[in-house]
Copies of this chain bind each other. A is one copy, B any other.
C-alpha cells in the first residue's frame, strides 16, 4: 500500500517489530524488511514467524550477545561496501535492552548511515496508558534479579519529578513489589502492565500493597511485565522541621550534619539537595 518504489539507500536500518500483536508493525518497517539485503535478528526463529506472517522472503543472520563481536565485523564490512542491513530484536524497538545498540554504535564509528524505523516499544506503550505523569520519565531496563541489589537500585532512584519504568520478569514481580513497598511505602501508586498489545493485555493500577495482593491471589503470573511508578515527596507526612530532626540525629547517634541530613531526606522521600534547601528556608524563617 502506497509503497515507495525508490531503491533503498545503503545503511543500517533499526526496524521496530511487534511486541505481541502482529499488526503492530508499520508500513515502512514492512517495506524495509522486504527491501534490505539481509536481516540481523536477535533470534532468527522468532523473527522468521513475523517474516512468514507477512510473506517476506529474506536471508536472516543471528545477531546476539554471544556472537556480536564477530558478527559486527562481518556486517560492518558488508555495510561499508553499500549493503542494506536491517536489525531487529525479538520484540519491539531494537537498540534498547538488546544487542542492536552495539551494531548501531559500530556503524556510526564506521561512518555508515543509521536509520531508525519506529514502531512498537513496550516501555512507551505502558507509560501512555498508565495514568502516571508523562512529563518526565526514566527507563531503566530490568531491575537486578537479586533482592539486595534490587533494593539498592530502588533506593538510589530519584524521589520526585519522574516516572520510573522497568521491565520485570513475572516470577520476580511479587518480590519486587515487596521491595518497592519497603523502600517507598506500601501506599505508593504503581502500575503493572502485562501482555501488552495482546488479547489479554492488562493494566493493574493501585498501591504497591493492593497490586501485590491482586497478583499474589493468582495461581500464576505470566507474561512480560512493565512496571511503573512515580514517587513524590508529598506522600510523606512531615511533622517536625528538618532542623529539629537533624539536630536530634546528631545528638542521639553522633552523626555529622551531612549524614543526619541524608537520613532525614531519605525518610521524607526527597533528595538531599531538596532537604538542604528546605533546611536553609527554615533557618531563614527563624532569623
A residues bordering B, Cβ < 8 Å? 1-2, 4, 14, 19, 21-28, 31, 53, 93-97, 100-101, 104-105, 108-109, 114-121, 124-129, 131, 133-141, 158, 162, 196-197, 201, 203, 205, 256-258, 261-262, 272-273, 276
Contacts and interface: CB of A to CB of B under 8 A. Distances in A.
Nearest to A256: B257
19 contacts: A2-B53, A4-B23, A21-B28, A24-B26, A24-B27, A25-B27, A26-B120, A95-B134, A96-B124, A101-B128, A104-B129, A116-B124, A116-B126, A116-B196, A119-B120, A124-B124, A136-B138, A137-B138, A257-B257
A128 B116 contact: yes
A142 to B, nearest CB: 10
A162 B97 CA distance: 14
Contacts of A4: 23
Contacts of A135: 97, 141
Given A23-B26, A116-B124, A138-B139, 11 more contacts: A2-B53, A23-B31, A27-B27, A95-B127, A95-B129, A96-B124, A96-B128, A118-B119, A121-B124, A137-B139, A272-B272
B114 A203 contact: yes
Contacts of A201: 115
Contacts of A31: 23
